[in-house]
Amino acid sequence: MTIRMDNLEGLTLAEMEEMVANNRHLGCEAMPVNVAYPLIELVERVLKRQQYRKLSKGQRGVVLRFLAKVIGRSRAQMTRLVRRWMDHRCVEPKLVKRACFARRYTAADTALLAKVDAAHEDLSGPAVLCIMGREFRVYNKPEYERLAGISVSHIYNLRRSEGYRKIRVKVQHTQGRQVSIAERRKPDPKGRPGYLRVDTVHQGNQDGKAGLFHINAVDTVTQWEVVGCVETIAESHLLPVLEAILHQFPFRILGFHCDNGSEFINHLVVDLLNKLLVQEFTKSRTYLTTDNALVEGKNGAVVRKHIGHGGIEASHAEEFQKFYTASFNSYLNYHRPCGFATVTRDRRGRRQRRYRAQDYQTPYEKLTSLV
C-alpha cells in the first residue's frame, strides 16, 4: 500500500507530534540515495519552514522524529542529515568514496595475452608466462614488458575478464552423451564362478587387408577360458560367436564385464545377455586398468603366445573358430594349469599375492574343488 502526503512542511509542531504518536504502527521504507531526492528536498523545506535553528531541544526532537518517520531513515541518519543542513544550508547526498587503485595491465595487454593464447592454443599459465618473458627479454619486444612480470594467477584473472572474452571467443562443443548401458564398476563374484571378463584381440592387418579378431572370455574365479574368432566386430559377425562362447561355459553366467568398446556396449549384446538370464552387466571404470586385468593378461599369455602377432586375414576366421571350439578351448581348461594366488594382508593392511606350487591347477580342477 502506498500513502501519499502533500504539504507536509506546512504542519505545525503539534500536528507533527500527533502524527508520530498516532501512527507508531506505520513504517516507511528507506529509499536508495539516488532515487530519494524528493525526500531530501522535503527535509530542506521542513527545516526552513519550522526555523529549525530557533527551536528548543524538545521541539527539535519532534521535528527529527517526524522526518525520520516520513522518509524512512533512522534517528542517527536523520541527525546526520540535519547536521549537514545546519553546516551548509543544504542536504545533499554524500557520495561514497571507494578506494581507486591504478590499473597495471591495460586493455592492450589483455589483447596481447589473447593473441598469445590464440597462437599457442591456450597453453597453461606458466607456459604462457615463459613465452611472454622470452618475447621481452630475448626478442626485445617492448609491448611485452608489463606481461613479462605478470604472475601466473593474474594470467587466469585476465582470461576471465570481459575484455579478454570479447577478443578470445571460445565455443563449447556438444559433449558426448554418456551411454547408460552397463554399470561402471568392478564386479565382485564373492568366490562364485560365472562372472566373466571379456575382451577382443585384433590380429592386425597384412598387405592392406584387415585382420581377424579374437574374442577372449575368462571366468574370474576358476579362470575357465573360452576363445572365439570373428571376421569383424560388427554385430552380424560378433553376436553368433559370442553366444556360442557363452554356451561353452559349464556353469551359469552370472556377470559379464568388458571394456568400454562399442562392440559390447550396445543394445544387441544387452538383449543377448537378457536372453541368457545374465544378472550383471558391468564395464571398466576410467583410469582403473585393473578392472579388466585378468583377461588382458590372458590375451598376452594365451592368445598372443599361441597365435602370435603376425597379421592374419579375416577370411580365416571360420577355420580359427572351429579350431578353438574343437581343440584349443579344451586344452586351456583341462590341461593348462593356471596360477591361483594366495592373498594375504601385511601389518599395514596392503594386499600381498603369493603363488605357491600347490596353487597351480587347471580351471577344471579349480571348478571341481568349489563344488
- Which stretch of DSSP H or E encloses residue 143? none
| Model pLDDT for residues 250-298, shown as the tens digit of each residue | 999 999 999 988 889 989 999 999 999 999 999 998 888 888 889 999 9
Per-residue confidence (pLDDT) for residue 261, from 0 to 100: 85
Q: How far is CA 226 from CA 176, 295, 325, in A?
A: 34, 11, 8
pLDDT the model gives residue 255: 93
The torsion angles phi and psi of 114, rounded to 5 degrees, stand at -60, -35
Residue 57 confidence class, pLDDT cut points 50, 70, 90: confident
Distance between CA atoms of residues 70 and 5, nearest Å: 9
Look at residue 188 and tell me whether its pLDDT is greater than 60. yes
Helix/strand/coil for 124: coil
Q: Where are the domains of the chain?
A: 8-88, 107-167, 186-334
SS3 content of the chain, % helix, strand, coil (to 5): 50, 15, 40
Query: What number does CATH give the domain 186-334?
Result: 3.30.420.10
- Collapsing DSSP states into helix, strand and coil, what is residue 273? helix
- Whole-number CA gyration radius for the chain: 42
HSE at residue 217, side-chain half, CA atoms within 13 A, is 25
Q: How confident is the model at residue 15 (pLDDT cuts 50, 70, 90)?
A: confident
φ/ψ of 351, rounded to 5, equals -80, 135
DSSP state of 348: T
How far is Cα 80 from Cα 90, in angstroms, rounded to an integer?
12
For residue 17, what pLDDT band results from cuts at 50, 70 and 90? confident
pLDDT at 9: 67
Percent of the chain at pLDDT exceeding 90: 40
Least trusted range by pLDDT, from 20-24, 34-38, 228-232, 290-294: 34-38
The alpha helices in 197-292, defined as continuous H runs, are 235-247, 267-275
- What tens digit of pLDDT does each residue of 209-249 get? 888 999 999 999 999 999 999 998 888 889 999 999 999 99
Report yes or no: 211 and 233 within 8 Å, Cβ to Cβ.
no
Q: What is the mean pLDDT of residues 10-14?
A: 76
